[in-house]
Structure 1
Amino acid sequence: MDPARRRRLRLVIEFSALFVGVPLTLAFLLPPTAMFTVLGVMTGVGILLLHRTPGFDWAELLRGPVPWPVLLAALALTAAVGVAGTLALFPHMLFFLPKQQPSLWLMILVLYPLLSALPQELLFRPLFFRRYGQLFPSVRIAVWANALLFSVAHLMYADPLVMGITFAGGWLFGWLYAVRGSFGAALLLHAVAGQILFTTGLGILFYSGAVGR
């Protein structure tokens, strides 16, 4: 096998293990308490792989425009979905955290961007597109695949609404990174959208304790 084919095969194996094998293992074989451990290990592996990716420069993550109209529209829609979804499914949870547990709410607002949004964005945006983007015939197809696999990564929650939200969010995060060239915009949107969902109450769907409800 020539070197180019060998490298492509290695990338396919890496990609399949990271973006298909690990999420399915977490969804069907591991307990919910393993979620952050798995994310931490994957993030460490992802950082090493990015460091070894030809042509990748960490400084590029600091570049790129922030399309504020797109972000503000997406955040307004997130807030509407959060309020409507909470009223429809868990009306007693509407703004529960800021009203009843403000200390926990503030802790989530501070830690969610650092411990959840940032690791996920590193894995699903620069690692996905910069290292494995060549496995797809076009950027457009890669963005749709990214959205699908980002949704699959949340399969452990066993909730169709979670799958739908993460698919839509994954598509927009992927588009911001791969098409608009802005990791910062994708990370900011992911972080604030998550904070909004936890604030409205719909974030209950994303608690590790909700897995397998």
Structure 2
Amino acid sequence: MKTLKYKTVEFAIIFIILPISFALNYAPQIKLGIGLTGFVYIIYVLLKVEQKKFKLAKNLNFKVFFKHTLLKLIVIVAITTCFVWFTNPALLFNVMLTKPLLWLFILFFYSFFSVYPQELIYRTFYFERYLPIFKSKNVFLVINALVFSLAHLLFKNILVLVLTCIGGLLFALTYYKTKSTVLVSIEHAIYGCWLFTVGMGDMLGFPA
């Protein structure tokens, strides 16, 4: 399971073939079964093959992390608020203002049941398995952003693909620097929760 040939096939199935297949029209139950099977496989490889320990890393610099994340968030807030305001102002903060309980539920569900599994797959697993293969750090990070964007192909929305590609690059850089699934999950959750809050949730499969 550690040979280059095996990892190449593994990468193609998990990060290319499956995301493309999920964009096709077939039974959601089958998609769910395939997704759960793939996730179990990933956890098995992390624990048994890569000997990854799921524990909070020591000496994490939360102060620097939150400072950098806040600076990026300010830019994201400015751009996305203007975007919603000019494209469909009726959506601006709509769910938060009209359905606050639904808004809170979305933020909770998304943060714990969507973000963390995504980061286990697209950062922790991806970095543990494939970083030693690449000679170029930049190529490695760009490919991570591209396959993360491809995972959102099922939404069939060009804007979603662009946003998730940019987000994927930001998350890849954070994980590369911190080696922390927790920190990159926090960053991912912050940006994603803001998109739902500002009124861009509908394109990501949540009410807007």
TM-score band, normalised by shorter chain? 0.7 to 0.9
Contact 1:19-1:149 within 8 A present in 2 as well: yes
Give the alignment partner of residue 17 of structure 1, picking from 13, 21, 26. 13
Q: CA deviation at 1:32?
A: 6.6
Task: Report SS of the residue matched to 1:115.
Answer: helix
Aligned pair in 2 of structure 1 residues 37, 196: CA closer, same or farther (>3 Å)?
Answer: farther
Gaps of 5+ in 2: none
Q: Secondary structure at the match of 1:62?
A: coil
Amino acid paired to 2:167? G
3-state SS of the aligned residue for 1:58? coil
Deviation of 1:185 (Å): 2.1
* In structure 2, C-alpha distance between the alignment counterparts of 1:172 and 1:179, rounded to whole Å: 11
Specify which of 201, 205, 209 is matched with residue 203 of structure 2.
205
Judged with a 3 Å threshold, the aligned counterparts in structure 2 of structure 1 residues 113 and 38 are, in CA distance, closer, same or farther, namely farther
The 5 A counterparts of 1:41-80 are 41-59=37-55, 62-63=57-58, 64-66=60-62, 67-80=65-78
**Counterpart residue identity of residue 45, structure 1:** Y
Does the Cα contact within 8 Å between 1:32 and 1:209 map onto a contact in 2? no
CA RMSD of aligned residues (A): 2.5
> Counterparts of 2:184 and 2:156 in 1: how far apart (Å)?
25
Cα distance in 1 for residues equivalent to 2:207 and 2:107? 19
Q: Are the equivalent residues in 2 in contact too, given 1:162–1:205 (CA < 8 A)?
A: yes
The alignment's TM-score, normalised by the length of structure 1, stands at 0.85
Cα 1:32–1:65 shift into 2, 3 Å: farther
Q: Residues 33-182 of structure 1: matches in 2 within 5 Å?
A: 39-59=35-55, 62-63=57-58, 64-66=60-62, 67-182=65-180
Shift of residue 84 of structure 1? 1.9
Q: What amino acid is the match of 1:17?
A: I
Residue 194 (structure 1) shift: 0.9
Change (3 A) 1:16 1:102: same
Structure 2 Cα separation of the partners of residues 34 and 115 of structure 1: 19
Q: Which has the higher contact order (CA 8 A, sep 6+)?
A: 1
Q: Does structure 2 conserve the Cα–Cα contact (< 8 Å) formed by 1:82 and 1:196? A: no
Residues 136, 142 of structure 1: 8 Å contact kept: yes
CA–CA separation in structure 2 for the residues paired with 1:147 and 1:76: 21
Rounded to whole Å, the distance in 1 between the matches of 2:111 and 2:30 is: 19
Query: Counterpart amino acid of 1:114?
Result: F
Residue identity over aligned pairs, in percent, reads: 29
- Which runs of 5 or more structure 1 residues have no equivalent in the other structure? none
